[in-house]
Chains A and B, each alone.
Chain A
Amino acid sequence: MAPDGVALVTAVFLPFLAAPFVVPATRLLGERVAYPCGIVAAACFGLVASQFGAEGVVAFEWIPSLGVALRLYVDGLSLLVAFLASGVGVLVFVYSAGYLHGEGEQPRYYASLLVFMGSMLGLVLAADLITLFVFWELTSLSSFSLIGYYQRESDSQYGARKAMLVTVAGGLFLLVGFVVLYAVSGEALAEPTYALVTADGGGLLDNADAVRETLRDEGLLIPVLGLLAVGAGAKSAQVPLHVWLPNAMEAPTPVSAFLHSATMVKAGVYLVGRFRPLLGSPEWEALFVTLGLATMTVTAILAVAASDIKELLAYSTASHLGLIVAGFGFQSALGAETGSLHLLNHAMFKAALFLVAGIVAHEAGTRAIDDLGGLRHDLPITAGVTVVAALGMAGVPPFNGFYSKEFLFEAAVAFAEGAGGLAWLVPAVAVFGSVFTFLYSIRFLMLFFGDRPEGLGDVHRPPLSMLAPAGLLGVVALLLGLVPQVAVDLLIGRVFEGVSSTPGGGAAHRVATAGVAVPEAVPGVEAAAAEGEGFTVGLPTKLSPAVAMSAVTILAGLAAYPFYGRLRDGIRSVLAVGPTTVDWWYDNGVEGVETLGRRTIDVVQTGMVRTYATWAVGTFAALTLAGYLAAGIGFPAISGVGPGVTRPIVLVLLLAVVAGFAVDTSPSHVAGVLTLSILGFMIAIFYILMDAPDLALTQLLIETLVLVIFLLVLDQLPAFYGEIDRWIAVRDVAVSAVVGLTVFLTVAVSTAQTPDPDLPTYLADTAPVPETHGSIILEYGGGGNVVNVILVDFRAFDTLGEISVIAMAAISVLTLLGRRTVGGSE
């Protein structure tokens, strides 16, 4: 089934269109404006759902001259993330109605949320690199506005700025990567294209093998991989760019649930999944498996050290994104299964946990882990949701996270069996990281069990609008755990296809290029099914290495949990000072740039015209002289008396120079203006002698006007002459002499060259002969004065520009003179 273009475009742009109406709607509905926004999200969800089962691309023209089009592509992967963006969106709008009760500035919040949702839908449906990039940066922008919701709090400002800097900077890396891909596609395909997929099979993904081979031949495969990894890593909080995510938790909790768990941070892993068929290779595997597992382990350890429930969840999100990246990194089918399944699983349990965290913070009034405990009596339903979601996060069977973690273990074992040697570190690290995941998951769960701390005050029941979304997500997570095969058959199987093979149904290259055949004898029950038919998932029925790894993880976690406090303190002490502190690199980097900027401004921006002028003319002279030196241009040989210099010309030029000296040494303004005028009139006479009547006329007119204007203005100005300090004068004379010398050399060098003979010859040959080109000036131009014809016919737009400049100057003069009385600050 081909996708419906109208439905897709509506789904993407409906939120954008609805956003401006939030303000008037708030005036009408007050805080209940959350519900119409939820309806918009639901409509998007419905439109996306109407494309369920469709696969293909629709294209609309956007910038045809640059080959950029609004291409939307539907496949399993884009559908899944679009479902997450719109579906979780509905729940978040409903939840926000309860959470933000009584807070100010809600229209901005809901409008940003709508814009974000539209951007996210556009991002995942885009099949054009430029479209994708635009939506990619739009998500960063709306995220900035949402993280900074509490505008006046410095923590919010810090978090918003940090997120913006990291993710937008990462996006720029992505853009460079896209442009490289575009350039390379010109060689690999018939013509360069930004399209990932086109209807006639001319996109990058359609020709993945050809593009990849060209990249490899050009030596650009690793640079492109690196650029995409930085872009995706910044968005998906991969080590070492994970530092922005914890600070992004300053946002209202529904935003954290939506952007920083279920959707925006998924953009990075979505990108990794999307480009997996295109760039999948041993290099890809090495890069993303390392990146993913490092992130998974490091951030899981950081999560254990967290003191705030949202901080814990933030690090845990980065950790699980690392798991997905590692999954997409593995070139075996198992890796694709890991990534696709965990994409959905993580969104469900993590969104649920964030909503739980919001309920806890809202009702108990604190987010400090140490101050919370035994909440099951106060929040029984919430506790139930937490049990499902936290155990899913821990990877305990039969909850949903277990299955994707099993796939990760299997993929890691398969990878290690194929590569051997040091590759056995991969499954070891996967287990090591998972132990920490288990630990912090249980710690979060224990907020609801054990004893209530003394200091915990009254805990209220959450309103229904907050409880219902969390409950719904919990139920979905539970179902995913109980009957995972249903989800796989419905959707995840198609996601798996999308990330493992090219759209044309082309044979997946993954196993062959990876050089790691998935052994048929992998004892895992969930071996990959036939290509293109999804895969099977279920509880293991016999002992395999992966099952053993899961068992080790859970047992080690249980054994270590009693020492949680000591473990946490140990990690904190390591992180306490110096370069190991999470924010050390970011803070010092940003502070360093700021300090550098301030110092540079102090030096460069002195507020003195003479400083700027010295630098400008000095640079100009230095560059020109350096250019002559580099090009080996010497002083030209001078032979004989050149043509055209008559005695009057010499006289006029000498007079002009004398007038110039008189201006420089003039004792008063009036004397200076008059001598300046002499200089101008000498130049006018020079034009006459040069047979340039139009220039002479213009110059005479202008000189007269300038003289009048100068005298008028000088009448109003004080007679300030500025006594000259001796050393400053010496320095200025030196600077001027250097400039004069540069100009002297330039003129000598440039006039020594004979002009291109074509132009004079053109005129000499053609203008006197009316039957050929003479007609251009005389008949087409309709005038005998060539300069005039050039100005009004051939370069009419230039003249229009000139007139505009004069008009602008006149308006500015009027404004400067007239606004004085209005602005009046005397």
Chain B
Amino acid sequence: MTQILLATVLGTLFALGTFLVLRRDVVRVVWGIAIIGQSANLYLVTMGGLSGGAPIASHGAHGFAEQPTDPLVQALVLTAIVIGFGTTAFALVLTYRVYEEHGTIDTYKLGGEGS
């Protein structure tokens, strides 16, 4: 059941993100990219296994209290979250600049159709 639940949740989130990316409104496109990025992170973390303690060894006890989860995926995803933030912020400011330059955030008009 775990797999089905995870697969359904991730599939739905990806579908919702894709739908947003296909919208006319540039802001919604940015949201779509953000949702897809978040979902991908989620997927990576679940690949490390759902059970296990935090991968933190205490100095005093010399070791983990219980078997830790995979720290490698967490390190990867941490980097990914930060970079995702960078791209989202950049995309937003780009949107703002596009509005300043063209006076619209409608991708149809920006793409030349109906302009």
A521 part of interface (Cβ distance < 8 Å): no
Assuming A767-B57, A774-B63, is B3 touching A713 (CB within 8 A)?
Answer: no
Q: How far in angstroms is the closest Cβ of chain B from A344?
A: 62
Q: How far in angstroms is the closest Cβ of chain A from B85?
A: 5
* Chain B, residue nearest A692 (CB): B74
Assuming A709-B92, A755-B49, is B99 touching A739 (CB within 8 A)?
Answer: no
Q: Are B20 and A664 touching (Cβ within 8 A)? A: yes
Total residues of chain A contacting the partner, CB 8 A: 106
Q: Are B105 and A760 touching (Cβ within 8 A)? A: no
Q: How far in angstroms is the closest Cβ of chain A from B11?
A: 3
Q: Which residues of A contact B96 (CB under 8 A)?
A: 713, 716-717, 816-817
Q: Which residues of A contact B17 (CB under 8 A)?
A: 660
Q: How far in angstroms is the closest Cβ of chain A from B54?
A: 4
Q: Which residues of A contact B77 (CB under 8 A)?
A: 692, 695
Of the candidates A642, A656, A690, A813, which one forms a contact with B9 in the assembled complex, judged by CB atoms under 8 Å apart? A656
Q: Which residues of A contact B9 (CB under 8 A)?
A: 653-654, 656-657
Q: Are B38 and A802 touching (Cβ within 8 A)? A: no
* Bound-state Cα–Cα, A768 to B19, Å: 46
Q: Are B89 and A660 touching (Cβ within 8 A)? A: no
Q: Which residues of A contact B51 (CB under 8 A)?
A: 643-644
Q: Are A809 and B86 touching (Cβ within 8 A)? A: yes
Q: Are B56 and A785 touching (Cβ within 8 A)? A: yes
Q: Are B6 and A747 touching (Cβ within 8 A)? A: yes
Q: Which residues of A contact B89 (CB under 8 A)?
A: 705-706, 709, 809, 813
Q: Are A736 and B22 touching (Cβ within 8 A)? A: yes
Q: Are B45 and A805 touching (Cβ within 8 A)? A: no
Q: Are B62 and A768 touching (Cβ within 8 A)? A: yes
Residue from the set A638, A786, A799, A809 with the largest chain B CB neighbour count within 10 Å: A786
* Bound-state Cα–Cα, A718 to B96, Å: 10
* Bound-state Cα–Cα, A806 to B11, Å: 29
Q: Which residues of B contact A694 (CB under 8 A)?
A: 74, 78
A680 part of interface (Cβ distance < 8 Å): yes
Q: How far in angstroms is the closest Cβ of chain A from B39?
A: 8
Q: Are B35 and A660 touching (Cβ within 8 A)? A: yes
Q: Are A661 and B16 touching (Cβ within 8 A)? A: yes
Q: Which residues of A contact B43 (CB under 8 A)?
A: 743, 747
* Bound-state Cα–Cα, A669 to B31, Å: 10
* Bound-state Cα–Cα, A382 to B32, Å: 78
* Bound-state Cα–Cα, A777 to B10, Å: 33
Contact digits for B70-106, partner A, Cβ 8 Å, 1 yes 0 no: 1110110111011111111110111111011100111
* Bound-state Cα–Cα, A778 to B60, Å: 11
Q: Are A733 and B19 touching (Cβ within 8 A)? A: yes
Contact digits for A740-769, partner B, Cβ 8 Å, 1 yes 0 no: 111111011011100100011001100111
Contact digits for A666-685, partner B, Cβ 8 Å, 1 yes 0 no: 00010011001001100100
Q: How far in angstroms is the closest Cβ of chain B from A695?
A: 6
Q: Which residues of B contact A733 (CB under 8 A)?
A: 19
Contact digits for B1-31, partner A, Cβ 8 Å, 1 yes 0 no: 1111111111111111111111111111101
Q: Which residues of B contact A785 (CB under 8 A)?
A: 55-57
* Chain B, residue nearest A790 (CB): B75
Assuming A644-B2, A751-B47, is B25 touching A721 (CB within 8 A)?
Answer: yes
Residues of B41-59 at the interface with A, using a CB-CB cut-off of 8 Å, are 41-43, 45-59
Assuming A774-B57, A784-B57, is B3 touching A636 (CB within 8 A)?
Answer: yes
A486 part of interface (Cβ distance < 8 Å): no
* Bound-state Cα–Cα, A643 to B88, Å: 34
Q: Could you name 8 residue pairs across A and B whose Cβ atoms are closer than 8 Å?
A: A609-B110, A610-B107, A709-B92, A718-B105, A767-B57, A787-B75, A798-B79, A825-B101
15 further A-B contacts with Cβ under 8 Å, apart from A706-B85, A733-B19, are: A609-B110, A642-B2, A643-B51, A644-B2, A644-B50, A644-B51, A663-B20, A679-B35, A690-B50, A699-B81, A720-B105, A743-B43, A747-B7, A763-B55, A820-B97
The 4 tightest CB contacts between A and B, nearest first, are: A642-B2, A644-B50, A740-B15, A744-B11
B residues within 8 Å of A by Cβ? 1-29, 31, 34-35, 38-39, 41-43, 45-59, 62-64, 67-72, 74-75, 77-79, 81-90, 92-97, 99-101, 104-108, 110-113
